[in-house]
Structure 1
Amino acid sequence: MTAVKVRLAQGTPCWVSLMTSDQEGAMAFYGALLGWEFTPGPTPLGAYVRATLNGAKVAGIGATPARTGHPVEWTTYFAVDSADDVSQRIRECGGTVAVGPLQAEHAGRLAIAADLSGAVFGLWQGEEHIGWEVVGEPGAPAWNELLTSDEPAASAFYGAVLGRSVVESDAAAVARGEDDATLVVGGFPVAGIRRSTDLRDGPPRWRVHFAVADTDLTVRRALQLGGRVLVGPHDTPYGRVARLTDPQGGRFSVVQT
C-alpha cells in the first residue's frame, strides 16, 4: 500500500474517473465490489462524487446527460504542472483537447483530451485536491495501461506531451506478458503502453486496474452484482488479473498483486 500525501510529479497517473449513464447504479456496484463510500465532488461537468476507501479518496464517478450516447468509460488522469501548457502541447503533437482547460472549483484545473488514435485521457493540475490518496491497497487503483494498435506512435506522443521518458520493453519481457513500453517518471514505471488488436479491448483506450485481495472471489461477486466477465482470472507478470464490465458496460480490470 502507498499513501499519497503530496501532488504527484508531472506525467504520473493521479486519478481515475468514470462517466456513466447511471450514477446511482454505478455507486451501488463499485461500493459493494470494492468497498467504496462516496462524498460530493466538484461539478463543472455535472453531477459528480468522489469514491473513498477507509476515508482516502481513490476515484470519481460522474453522470452523463441522458440520451447523449456518451460511452460509459473509465478515464485516467495524469498529474501536470500546468493544464494549459500541456493542453497546448497536445494540440501541437496532433492530439485533440475536447474539454477545457477549466477550473473545477477550488479542487484544481482539468482538461480532457484524446491522443492520435482517439484514446481519451485527462490532465489534472491539483490544487486543494491532489488526486488519489492511496494506491495498491485492495479497492484502490493499482495500474493504468494504454491499449493501442500503434505503440511506437503512442509512446512518442505521450513522451512529448508529458515531457517524460518512455522505455521500450525487450522482446522477452513482451513475450512474458509485460507491456510493450512503460512511461517512466523519476526512474520508476508509472503506466504501461500495450499493443493490442484484441476485439474485446474495443477501440484504443486507457485501461484501469483496481487492486483486490482475491481476483477469483471478486469476479464471482461482480457477476452477482450484475457485472460481466470479458476475460476470466489468469496469471500475469503483474499478478492475477481479470477483465470485467460494470452493469452499465464500463470496462475495468482487477489485479491481485
Structure 2
Amino acid sequence: MEHSTAPRTYPHGVPCWIDLEPPDVDAALAFYGALFGWTFTEKLPPGVPGRYVVASLDGTDATAVAAVATHVPADGALAWNTYLAVDDVAAAAARVAELGGTVVTPPETVGPPDRPAGRMARVRDPQGLPSRLWEAGTRLGAQVVNAPGTWNFSVLITPDPAAALAFYGPLLGWEVDPELAAGMARVPGYGRHLAGTSDPDIFERQAFAPPGFADAVAPIESDDGPARWSVAFAVEDRDAAVAVAEDAGATVLSTTETPWTRDAEVRDPQGAVLVLSQFSAPDGA
C-alpha cells in the first residue's frame, strides 16, 4: 500500500508502532538499512542520554515505519516490541491489572513535555507476553505499512487463544469471527476509519475479501511455546530479501508458503527474530 497524504491514525485497540532496543544501535541500523533501505533520523538532542532513532522510507515522519532505541533490558530477551493504541493509557493500564495482566512500568510521558510524542506503559498479559500501550501525541504510529520494507503484521502467538482473547477482548475491543479468516482479531469499524482517513481505497482493494476483513488488526495463532509477538515485514521478493539478510549477518530459521504469502523467519545478528513476508495471492484473488 502506498502512503497517503493524510496522516495514518490508529483507533483504540489497533497495533500502531514497533521498535527494537538492541545492545548495539549502530549495528542494528546497518543491518536494517541494508535489508529494507530505511533512512534513519536521530530524535534525541545532543547531550541527552540514550538514543531514539526513527526509521522511515524518505527521512521524514510522513513515512515513518519503526524505531531503534538504546537497549532497555526490562522486557527480557531482545525482540521487536509491538505498541497497542489506546485512547487513555492510564485507564488501559488499570484495566490490564483488572484482567490479570501486569503493568511493568506505569504510564509515562515520552518526549519533550511541551510536545510529547505520547504516553506509554509497558505491560504483560496473563501469559507473560510483553507489549506497550501507546496513547499518541505527536508520534501517531507507523505511517506506511504493508508496502515492501515496512511493517506488515504483529502476529499474536499463544498457547491458549481463548485465554488471550479473554484479555485482549475487554482491553482492546478485539473480536474474532470463526467465519472470517479464523484466528484474525478485528476492531469493528477500523476499516471505515481507514477509508475515511489514510486509506480511502481499502474497500475497493479488498473487494475479494469477506465482510469485516478490513477491520482485521492482528492474526492470533496457537503454538505450544511461550506467548510472543511474531513481527512480520513486507518484502517484494522473499528469496532476495533472505539473501540480503544472510549477507548482512542474519540466520534463516525457516521458510514457509501459505496460500497468500511466502515467508521466511530470520534472526538478526543481535538475536531479534522477524518474519520476511512476500504477498502472493492465489490466481483470481
TM range (shorter): 0.7 to 0.9
1:37 to 30, 36, 39: 39
Deviations 1:171-229 (Å, cap 9, x if unpaired)? Answer: xx8xxxx66342334141011111012x5xxx311111101000011111111110011
- Percent of aligned pairs with the same residue? 38
CA shift in 2, pair 1:109/1:167, >3 Å = same
Q: Which consecutive residues of structure 2, in runs of 5 or more, have no partner in the other structure?
A: 190-211, 280-285
2:272 to 244, 250, 254: 250
Following superposition, the deviation at residue 86 of structure 1 comes to 0.6
Which residue in 1 is equivalent to 2:206?
A: none
Which residue in 2 is equivalent to 1:145?
A: 155
Residue 101 (structure 1) aligned with residue 124 (structure 2): no
Which residue in 2 is equivalent to 1:54?
A: 58
2:187 to 184, 188, 200: 184
Give 1:18's aligned amino acid.
L
C-alpha contact 1:111 1:122 (8 A) present in aligned 2: yes
For residues 114 and 42 of structure 1, what CA distance do their matches in structure 2 show?
27
Q: After superposing the two structures, state which structure 1 stretch, 247-256 or 44-53, moved more.
A: 44-53
Which residue in 1 is equivalent to 2:196?
A: none
Following superposition, the deviation at residue 61 of structure 1 comes to 0.9
**Which structure is higher in strand share?**
1
The normalised TM-score by structure 1 is 0.88
Q: Which consecutive residues of structure 1, in runs of 5 or more, have no partner in the other structure?
A: none
Which residue in 1 is equivalent to 2:140?
A: 130
Residue 225 (structure 1) aligned with residue 248 (structure 2): yes
Deviations 1:88-137 (Å, cap 9, x if unpaired)? Answer: 10010000111231001211111111111111111111111101111111
C-alpha contact 1:46 1:63 (8 A) present in aligned 2: yes
1:154-165 alignment runs, 5 A limit: 154-162=164-172, 164-165=173-174
C-alpha contact 2:41 2:55 (8 A) present in aligned 1: yes
The normalised TM-score by structure 2 is 0.80
Give 1:11's aligned amino acid.
G
How large is the RMSD of aligned CA atoms in angstroms? 2.2
SS of residue in 1 equivalent to 2:271: coil
Please tell me whether Structure 1 or Structure 2 has the larger radius of gyration of its CA atoms. 2
Which residue in 2 is equivalent to 1:27?
A: 29
Which residue in 1 is equivalent to 2:15?
A: 13
For residues 89 and 122 of structure 1, what CA distance do their matches in structure 2 show?
14
